[in-house]
Amino acid sequence: MCSPLCLKALYGPGSRRGFVKKSVMAAAAVACGVRAASGAAAPTPAAQQPRNFTNILDLTHPLYEGFPTFDGSKWFTKEKKYTFAKEKLNINTWTVVEHTGTHMDAPLHFTADGHSVDEIPITDLVVPLAVVDISPRTQANPDTALTPDDIKQWESANGPLPEGCCVMMNSGWHRLLDSPRYTGRDDAGKYHCPGFHGETAHMLLTERNVKGIGVDTLSLDIGMETGQFPVHYAWLGSGRWGVEAVANLDALPAKGAILVLAGPKVRGGTGGPSRVIALV
């Protein structure tokens, strides 16, 4: 759960109201204006900049029965409850394990009493997006991680990480959804897929202002740390969110996009299938 100190660190000092012009498109207004209008907390410097976009990208894989899971079991099912042939309307019944498909992780996922999905402020879910591409090396080494050096290289090319951003790992894994390689499971039951290095999580927590991290794999941690989950514990334990199994990352610029993380508003939910959108 975000402590008052944590919130202060996230939002920083100062406050401005009413700076968003009505002409700014609606979703960008959410990114810039809601926090200022609510008066709940001051906007970050990056959030004070009016934003515009010309393209909308869907970063969401379709969810279907059989979407890959680490243990191979079905974490999503869909059955007909009413049919048009019989009842003259269609309604399905779903069963969902929260962490399937393209989905978000709330702090409660890896804490005793952190924020559940419904408790995350909406202003934390529309943020600048920094995409760190490590895909050139994941083919040869699926156990590789997004390291602090990757962040430094991104910053030397693009400038400092935007205030209050989401750092997204593009490992190329989003291209593998239909491949057995997606889960990374080997014959011995170990998992080989990229993720964030624990030192990177520490760096982003202590030396940068980052709201969330995202991956195109099934886990924020590298596959070989499934069962230990050092990044999940550190990151979600700090009151921040994650998003996993993100799609379509090759279509994004390294910087300049706005991420809209539209997760389920389920009371007490630890995460859930989400619509992830980029405004470019």
Tell me the catalytic residues: 109
Stretch that binds Zn ion, among 19-27, 120-128, 149-157, 266-274 (CB under 5 A): 266-274
In the complex with Zn ion, the residue whose CB is nearer, 164 or 263, is 263
CB of 22 to Zn ion, least distance (A): 37
d(CA 12, CA 257): 22
In the complex with Zn ion, the residue whose CB is nearer, 68 or 271, is 271
Closest residue to Zn ion, based on beta-carbon distance: 99
Residue 240 in contact with residue 271, Cβ under 8 Å? Answer: no
Q: Backbone phi, then psi, for 275, in 5-degree steps?
A: -95, 120
In the complex with Zn ion, the residue whose CB is nearer, 105 or 225, is 105
Tell me if 99 contacts Zn ion by CB under 5 A: yes
Residue 253 in contact with residue 133, Cβ under 8 Å? Answer: no
d(CA 132, CA 243): 15
Stretch 21-60 residues interacting with Zn ion (CB under 5 A): none
Per rule CB under 5 A, count of chain residues that contact Zn ion: 4
Stretch that binds Zn ion, among 58-66, 87-95, 200-208, 264-272 (CB under 5 A): 264-272
In the complex with Zn ion, the residue whose CB is nearer, 43 or 230, is 230
CB of 268 to Zn ion, least distance (A): 16
CB of 244 to Zn ion, least distance (A): 5
**Of 190, 159, 138, 226, nearest to 147 (Cα)?**
138
CB of 3 to Zn ion, least distance (A): 23
Tell me if 216 contacts Zn ion by CB under 5 A: no
User: Residue 263: how many CA atoms within 13 Å on its side-chain side?
Assistant: 35
In the complex with Zn ion, the residue whose CB is nearer, 95 or 139, is 95
Stretch 234-253 residues interacting with Zn ion (CB under 5 A): 244
Q: Backbone phi, then psi, for 35, in 5-degree steps?
A: -60, -40
Stretch 177-206 residues interacting with Zn ion (CB under 5 A): none
**Of 197, 70, 193, nearest to 141 (Cα)?**
193
| Residue that has been written with the tokens 């693009």 in this structure | 158
Q: Where are the beta strands (DSSP E) in 24-155?
A: 56-58, 76-82, 91-96, 103-105, 126-133, 145-146
Q: Which of 59, 105, 126, 172 binds Zn ion (CB under 5 A)?
A: 105
Neighbours of 25 (CB within 10 A): 14
d(CA 244, CA 101): 8
CB of 254 to Zn ion, least distance (A): 25
Site residues, Zn ion (CB under 5 A): 99, 105, 244, 271
